[in-house]
Structures are given as structure tokens and as C-alpha cells.
Structure 1
């Protein structure tokens, strides 16, 4: 997929500020962040964290995703996106020819593989046809399985849109996803749709309401007639989203309390899957993925030492997880090391992230921010920094 090189996040903040005719002091006052921090973010000496991006978004009247900036794509890929948007508009217009369930199931397996491998180019080529096929199958079969399959396709669309910060598409995808799961009773699919809906609040920086969505969904799952394994799967997936949201709360005391609640619940739920993480509805849950979310949450809470203390062997902790989980975890570890002044460790983990999933690392906000800060702080040429600068699109 031809992603265009966009401005660095600090540069984008400066552009938004100057477009409004504001000084750094005026913006810092409106956002309740220090002028010193804002200045360092704009020049590249400090990373623009999600929490600061959300605060700036409130000052600008924008979502956090808009402050971070949409990941642009080449003209040919825009045509593929147009086909996908057309299929989403036709959510209640099945094709005349029947589509067998086996075809939709096979398409979802392929989509999950592309998603795990972060093969965005292949995924966006597959999705329009898969969505139309799943729509036809759901309307004709009208079974919980068929509607759940359609919801899974919309969840994958949400994943694609959220990663690129195409929030209009992301919001429409979760709306369609929720509509699909409501056609036939399916408590697990409903929990997964709530997880994605809470994700839109996360990307808009409205974490408090996102937590409300998560907590309501957990209550619904706990009262549903489910097996212990299905209930723990659904609750655990919701807890992962809950701890991420908690880590972004501005009140860090409340954030730590909320994060602890979701972390403890997630570890309990993960006990149902002691031998390996399980894959369901395009997502992964179990002890390993819980670990990756706990590490990220500790970084967001401003506790880098606690994050890095979770394991002595990150390679072993991540073994067997898909690149979609490995790369963000490496990036989060790099964030923690950067906060602690370990530039070499941060550089090594960033390099590993770009090696395992270059497309994801390139569009991940922190995948571009951490190398930008490393480039700024080193003030000198270094071969690996040159390589990361080229891969991430950050100018030396």
C-alpha cells in the first residue's frame, strides 16, 4: 500500500497551531500543558504522547486522531478505499446471487492472516469483495453465525481505518458492526463490537466515555448464558481495551486505579487459556496478549520502569504472537527506554519493530515519534538512525 510520507507529529502540531495564529504559550494555556513540553514536541526533542495529543485536540477542537494526522495513501489505493466505502453504504443491499458460508469463512481466514502479517495492501484489496459477500450471506442465511461473520468483517474494516486514523470510516464500521450483531442474539460478538466502539472513543481522546462503553459491555457479558471459556474470552478482550483507556486518563491517580481493576480482571480471565492465547473474531486473547497490553498501559501511565520490569526476556514473552502485537510492544518498550534515557535500547527495539512489521510501524504514531526524538537527541549521523529515518519517513 503506497502510504505517503506525512509531516512528523510535532511538525503537524506546529502547523495546526500556526494555522490558528496562536503562539506556543497560547496553545499551552488552552491545552493545560507546559510551554516547555510543547516546544520540545514541536522541534522533536520529546515525543507527542497520546495523552498530550488528546489535550491539544481539546484545545484545537479536534479529535486526538486528527492531531496525530491521517495516514495518507497513494491515488491508486484511494480507489480501493472508494470500493470499500461503497460496500459499506450497501449494508442492506445483498447481491442477487447467493454466497455460501464456506466462502465467507475462507475469506475471513485470509483477512485474519493479512491482518496478523500487517499486509495492508492485500487486506484492502480483499475487503470490498469480502464485505459484499458477507452481507449477502448474512441476509440470506439470517443466522447468528452469518451475522457474526459479517460483524467480523466490519471489525477488520475498523482495524484498518483506526490504524490509519481514518476516523469517519472507523466510526461507520463500528456502527455497521453493532447493527450486524443485533440482528441475532450473540453475546460474544456483541462484546467484541463494544470493544471496537470503545476504540473509537480512544482515538477521539474521549477515554472516560470509552470506559463507560467497556464497563456496560462487561456487565452484559457476565449476565449472559455463556460457557466459562466464552465469558472469560469476552470479558478479557473488553479488559484489554479498558486498561488501554485507563492508561490515557488525565488524572493518573484515577488512571492507575482503573487500570489495576482491568488488569486484575484480564489476568483472571486469561486463566481459562493457560497453554496458549486463542484467536477469535480476528483478535487474540490470553496471557501473552494481556502482557503486551499491561506493558503498554504502564508506559501510558508514566511508569516506564514498571513496564520494563514485567519481563527479563522480551523475545520469549512475545514468541508466537503475530506481528500486529509484536511491533507495537517493541515500540512501547522503546518509549519506556527513551523515557529512562536508554537511547541504545530504544533504538534496538524500534529496529526490531520495523523489521517484524514495517507497514504497521510506519503508520503507528509512536513508531514515527520515537525515531524522530532519537534523531533529534543524537544530533549526529548514525547508520541505524538513517535506516529508521528512511523507513518511518522522518527527515534527519
Structure 2
């Protein structure tokens, strides 16, 4: 684990030297000292915030995955998802060619039911399983769009767009930037072919996530607002799906603002999301099927408030928010979100100096969604920090005891 931190530092150094960039120039761009950059390149400082990692990658003109070595080296069995990812890419590349599908495709009503399986897999953070399901579903959905007309054809494109979203989420979690980019492009294309007024905003929601990789915080905010405006009328009318999208986009904007250093705006965006979650509870009776697969609830707003506080390095504020949270709000969230929440709490406790609680939260996160946590750079960074600090502390205790015992004499 500690060697991984050193390798990340070496990758940063190689990328910097490839550009002929002095340490002082990189430090100035990051708002850090040259000494900080030097320590980071020697693996002595963890890149424990996504925003910071992405900013460094942006300044060095590389993808963040190039610095942290994702996809991580795993066993052959754990690498089988890459075959499914290649199959998905093949389907996305031939989006405007005649589909290759044997037999008549099922109607959209049945294909929407297939997406409920993807919802369950996403909630469980079973990203490899999502990858394995998608190639056939892409083929069948595209075949249906080719042979149908009218509303049925529009719904086929809506399903295709939702499948792109699932591919996008799984590719982000597993570390496949080519599939991330392709899924985002095809989601925008298919959203335009659908008659769903919210679907283009969902595609923009995906694009905002991708803009974070290149530290384009201002563009991410501008795109979030563009998407928010596109569903504003439906939001004001209280359409449940529009309310979900509007609120989720505010959370995207909150994270973007936090990473841009705009503290006041980040908090305002969280307040807007709270307003949307209140409207959702008023309008969803009976509950509406979330065909766009947007996880949005009061609990989700709360855990985003914690993430935003951590992006601004306000760990005590994050822990204070957590103390005020009702456990039921967390338990109601899918495993993917609950696991990410415990990972954030691990970071908060570590920064606050409590290694035991940090490790406990990280263990909880792994129990809930092991695949997600083992592939997440921040979880790995947090664990490395715990291990390094523990070793340093143990060495210091042994040194002091050695002095007391006069072992050097």
C-alpha cells in the first residue's frame, strides 16, 4: 500500500518533467509550496481529495487515472469486466449502423423492466455485473429503435440513454476513461432522439461528472445551470422526475463549486437541493418509478453536504453534519451511496486525528460495497494514510522505549 503512494508520486514527477515544468511552477498552479510538491512526489503526502488529484492531472495534461494507476492490478478473475467493457464500446461505436440482433426485439415495456435489474445492481455497487448485462441490452434496444416508430421508437432511445448512464457509472467506478467518454456522448445523442423532456438534462448531469476529471469547475457549473434551466418549468409544475433531476443537478453544482473554492455558492447549492428534496416528498404520492436512475432523497442531500464540506477541507463541519443525521435516512440509501458515505466519514475522522474511527468507517464501507471501495482512489489513499500513521506512531513509541531502556548504549 505504501509503495502505491510512492508510485503515484513518481508518475506525477515523470509527467511534470515530460512538460519541462519546474516544481515551483506546479506548486504555484496548485496554490502549494515547492516543498509540498517535493514531498508529494516522494510519496510522503497523500492526494486525499478528488478535486486536488484532478487539478494536478489537469495541470500536467494527463488523465487522473494515469497518475493513480487505474484500473488497479487485480487477479485475472477480477479483470474479466474489461472484456464486457470492450463489448459495450463496440456497440456504442456502431450506434448508427444496422444493429446485429437475432429475432424480434422485445417491446419497450419489457425492456424497461430489464432496467430495474440494472437499478438493483447499481444500488448494490455491483459494477462488474452491470458491465456484463449491458452489451446484449444495448443491441436489443438499438434493434427495437431501428424497427419501431412513434412513441415506441422514442422510448427505445430513452432506454438506450439510460443504459449509457449505467455504463458511465460502472466505467467511472472501475476506471475505464474511454468507456466513460463514449457512454456520455451516446447518452446525449440518444436523449435527443427520445421524447423524454428530462433525459437531455440527465446526459448533461453525466457530462458534469466528466468535467471534474479535467478540473473544469467553471464549465461544470455552467453546464449544471444549463441543465437546471432545461427542466425548470417541469420542476416548478412539480413533475416528480424533473424535481429529482433538478435536485441532483444542484448537488453536482455544489461539488463543482466546492472544488472551485466557492464556499458560499457550494452551501447555497446544498440549500437548493434541500428545497428540491422537500418538494419531492410533497409530490411523490404514490412513489414514481425513477426511470432515469437518479438517486435523490433527503439522505442523499445530507451525505453530499458532508462530501462538500470535505472538499473544502472542513472535516469538523462534516462530522457535525453527520452527528445531526438520522440513521434511518442513511439506511434508506442504496449500498453504493451508503458505502461512499462511510468512506467520506473515514477521511473526516482521519483528518480529525482519530485513526481508530477512520479505520472502522473504512471497514464498514468495504462490508457494504467491497467492489466500489477497493477500486476507489480516495478509499485507498485513506487506508494508506492510516497504515503510514500507525507505523510512524509505532516506530516513535519503540524509539522512546528504547531510549528508556538505554538500548543504544
Shift, 1:170, TM fit: 0.9
SS in 1 for 2:204: helix
Are 2:229 and 1:222 equivalent residues in the alignment? no
Residue in 2 that maps onto 1:62: 62
Distance in 1 (CA, whole Å) between partners of 2:25 and 2:223 is 34
Residue in 2 that maps onto 1:291: 302
Say which is worse superposed, 96-105 or 21-30, in terms of deviation. 21-30
Give the conservation status (yes or no) of the 8 Å contact 2:251–2:304: yes
Say which is worse superposed, 200-209 or 142-151, in terms of deviation. 142-151
Shift, 1:90, TM fit: 2.0
Residue in 2 that maps onto 1:173: 183
Q: Report matched runs for 1:186-205 at 5 Å.
A: 186-205=196-215
Distance in 2 (CA, whole Å) between partners of 1:9 and 1:103 is 47
Q: Report matched runs for 1:182-331 at 5 Å.
A: 182-224=192-234, 227-228=237-238, 229-249=240-260, 252=261, 255-274=262-281, 279-312=290-323, 315-331=327-343
Say which is worse superposed, 312-321 or 352-361, in terms of deviation. 312-321
Are 2:124 and 1:117 equivalent residues in the alignment? yes
Say which is worse superposed, 38-47 or 147-156, in terms of deviation. 38-47
Task: For structure 2, list consecutive stretches of 5 or more residues without a partner in the other structure.
Answer: 395-409
Give the conservation status (yes or no) of the 8 Å contact 1:98–1:140: no
The alpha-carbon distance between structure 1 residues 103 and 186, as it changes in their structure 2 partners (threshold 3 A), is closer
Give the conservation status (yes or no) of the 8 Å contact 1:81–1:124: yes
Distance in 2 (CA, whole Å) between partners of 1:332 and 1:311 is 10
Task: For structure 1, list consecutive stretches of 5 or more residues without a partner in the other structure.
Answer: 383-396
Distance in 2 (CA, whole Å) between partners of 1:27 and 1:205 is 15
Residue in 2 that maps onto 1:12: 8
Distance in 2 (CA, whole Å) between partners of 1:350 and 1:128 is 33
Give the conservation status (yes or no) of the 8 Å contact 1:17–1:27: no
Shift, 1:164, TM fit: 2.6
Distance in 1 (CA, whole Å) between partners of 2:393 and 2:318 is 30
SS in 2 for 1:269: helix
Residue in 1 that maps onto 2:87: 83
Shift, 1:218, TM fit: 0.7
CA offset digits 1:254-293 (Å, max 9, x no partner): x212212311111111012338997442221111111111
Residue in 2 that maps onto 1:386: none
Say which is worse superposed, 200-209 or 65-74, in terms of deviation. 65-74
Q: Report matched runs for 1:10-49 at 5 Å.
A: 11-18=7-14, 21=17, 27-29=26-28, 31-41=30-40, 42-49=42-49
Say which is worse superposed, 62-71 or 324-333, in terms of deviation. 62-71
Are 2:105 and 1:99 equivalent residues in the alignment? yes
Aligned length: 374
Say which is worse superposed, 328-337 or 280-289, in terms of deviation. 280-289
Give the conservation status (yes or no) of the 8 Å contact 1:9–1:48: no
Residue in 2 that maps onto 1:127: 134
Say which is worse superposed, 63-72 or 78-87, in terms of deviation. 63-72
Are 2:168 and 1:158 equivalent residues in the alignment? yes
Residue in 2 that maps onto 1:373: 385
Shift, 1:172, TM fit: 1.1
The alpha-carbon distance between structure 1 residues 239 and 51, as it changes in their structure 2 partners (threshold 3 A), is same
